[in-house]
A and B are shown apart, each in its own frame.
Chain A
C-alpha cells in the first residue's frame, strides 16, 4: 500500500496535505482498495464550518457507503467537483486527482495531532 510521506493521516483513513494556509483532504490507497469501485461521492457544502472528526462527505462504492471525516476543525473552502462526473478518480489516484475537499483549518497546529506516514502504517498493521 502506498503511503506518501508528505502528508498527515487519520485512523479513519483520510489523508491531509497542507498547502499554504489550507489543507487538501482525501482517502488513502488502503481505503479506496478496501471500498472497491467508487461510484458516487457526496461532497460537503463550500463554506460549511466543521469540527474535527465530523462526518462531512460520503464515498459510495458498489458494495457500501463510507463516511469521510474532517481531520481537523475549520471551514470547507473548495470541493473536488470532478468527482461528480468521475468518482473513480478516487480509485485511480487517491492521493492526487481523487482529493475530496479543501479545508481552511481553524488552527494549522491542529495538524500536529494527526498521524504521520509511519504512524498510519503502524495503525494499519495493528488493525
Chain B
C-alpha cells in the first residue's frame, strides 16, 4: 500500500488508518461526527495527496481540453478553476475533475485517486493530434484541503498573500509557513476553504503549522459525510461510465454550445432515471439499498449515510424518472419512509 507524505503525521495525530484507492489514509482521528462539525463550524484539515494531478501544456492545450472535458474551458481565465467531467465517446463519464488554469497555455487537472491511471491513458490517447504535452504529477504533489468558515482566518496567519482579495475558484502561488505553495480557493465539503498544493517534502511542516494555527485534522469519514450532506456526486457512485450527466443534477456542468467527445451520444441519450436526495424518518441508508414506491422497487441508493447536522440518515438515490413518491427505503427488510430533499441537504453558504 502506498503512503502519502503525511503518513507519519497521521500516526502522530492518532489517525485510524485504512486503505483507500491504494493509499493508507486516516478514516478518522477521534470521531467522524466531531470532525464533520469542525468543518461546518470552524476549520478542518484533510490530506488529499492521494488525488491525481496532471499538468497540461502547449499551444493547443485549450482546444484539447475543450474536446476532452464538458465544461467551457474557454471561459476559464488565468488564475481560475472550474469543476468539470471527462466524457467518453458514448456520452458517459470517465471521471469528474477540477481544472485550474495556471497560465496562458498551462492547466492543472485534479482527478480522483482511483482513476489516475485510467484518466491519464484516456487523455494521452485523446491528445494525439493536438500540440499538447501531458505530465502526471500525482506522485510529486502533496495536497491539503483546509475547509470551513474559519479556513481563511487560520491560513491568513501563515501566508503573506491577502486572502480577503481571493474569491471562490481563484488559484494563485504563495508561501505558506515559509514553504512555496499553490493555493486554490476550492474544496469538496460545501464550505469555504483552500486546497494547498505542495512539494512532498514540505507537506508535513505545512500540515503541522495549520494544525497549530487551529485547524482540526479530519479523515476520510468526515470527507464523505461532508460531500454527501453538500449533495455532491462521488465518482463510482452517482457518476460512472454508464451515467449520462445530462440526467443528473450536475447537468449544468455540460456546456452544449461547445463541441466535446461524445457530445452527440450524450445529447441524444434518453433519461430513464433521476437522482433524488432522500431523508429517512429513521435508520441509516447505505449504498445499494432499494428505493420503494409502495411495494415496487423503483431505484437504489448510490450514496447513503448519516448527516451530523440533520441528525438523520440521508441518501442520494437513482429512481425511475416517472416515479413521484411517496418513497420508502428498504433498510434490512423494513420499509422506512423517505422524504424528498433539495440538494444540498443542509443550507450552505
Q: Which residues of A contact B (CB under 8 A)?
A: 36-37, 39-40, 42, 58, 60, 62-63, 65
Contact = CB atoms under 8 A, between A and B. Distances in A.
Nearest to B284: A60
B283 A42 contact: yes
Interface stretch (B25-33, B77-85, B186-194, B203-211): B25-33
Contact of B32 (A37, A42, A58, A60): A37
A36 B284 contact: no
Contacts of A40: 282-284, 306, 313
Given A39-B306, A62-B305, A65-B284, 15 more contacts: A36-B27, A36-B32, A39-B33, A39-B284, A39-B311, A40-B283, A42-B283, A42-B332, A58-B332, A60-B283, A60-B284, A62-B33, A62-B308, A63-B27, A65-B332
Contacts of A60: 283-284, 306
Contacts of A42: 283, 332
A37 B282 contact: no
A84 to B, nearest CB: 9
A102 to B, nearest CB: 22
Contacts of B4: none
Main secondary structure of the interface of B (DSSP, over half): mixed
25 contacts: A36-B28, A36-B31, A36-B32, A37-B31, A37-B32, A37-B33, A37-B34, A39-B33, A39-B306, A39-B311, A40-B284, A40-B306, A40-B313, A42-B332, A60-B283, A60-B306, A62-B32, A62-B221, A62-B225, A62-B306, A62-B308, A63-B27, A63-B32, A65-B286, A65-B332
Interface string B245-258: 00000000000000
Interface in B296-339: 305-306, 308, 311, 313, 332
A37 B225 CA distance: 13
Interface in B254-285: 282-284
Interface in B173-225: 221, 225
Contact of B221 (A58, A63, A65): A63
A50 B58 CA distance: 70
A60 B283 CA distance: 8
Interface string B143-164: 0000000000000000000000
Nearest to B282: A40
A40 B311 CA distance: 10
A65 B332 CA distance: 10
Contacts of A37: 31-34
A62 B284 CA distance: 8
Nearest to B28: A36
Q: Which of A37, A62, A63 has the most CB of B within 10 A?
A: A62
A60 B331 CA distance: 12
Contacts of B308: 62
B283 A36 contact: no
A88 to B, nearest CB: 8
B28 to A, nearest CB: 6
A36 B16 CA distance: 11
Contacts of B311: 39
Contacts of B286: 65
B175 to A, nearest CB: 37
A94 B306 CA distance: 21
Contacts of B225: 62
B221 A36 contact: yes
